[in-house]
Structure 1
Amino acid sequence: MILITTVREGESIDKALKKCKKKFDKTRILKEFRERQQYIKPSEGRRNEILRAKYRERMKSKREE
């Protein structure tokens, strides 16, 4: 995959790098790469999702108090 970042004339390098990093993060390439490094069984993935949902609910209710 190729990321193309257009840089305006007179724009600083730092700003161009920031744009490039933002585009890279939006593509989620790195996240997908890390997920593929280790195989996770479908049942284990579902279990992890349920645990994360429970944790989010607990934190949400804790904030509301």
Structure 2
Amino acid sequence: MLIIPVKEGENIDRALKRYKRKFVKTTIKNQLQERKQFKKPSVVRRAQIQKAQYIQRLRDAEEV
């Protein structure tokens, strides 16, 4: 649970903006999206391997 202390006389819009920023930084949104739909471990592993291969190709292209 996120706790945002609101200071005396602080604008509610400013506090809401701080809440949104903290919400994004804590990656709660990503966790919620991942829990929406089950992914098989093999699918997750395959995606990780593909991402690693893509990054490796980019690094190899930079070196050339």
TM-score, with length taken from structure 2: 0.71
The answer as to 2:41 corresponding to 1:47 is no
Alignment RMSD, CA only?
2.1
TM-score, with length taken from structure 1: 0.70
Per-residue CA distance 1:2-32 (angstroms, 9 max, x = gap): 3222345566555433322221012211101
For structure 1, the 5+ residue unaligned runs are none
Residue 53 (structure 1) shift = 0.5
Deviates more, 1:13-22 or 1:31-40: 13-22
For structure 2, the 5+ residue unaligned runs are none
Identity among equivalent positions (%) equals 47
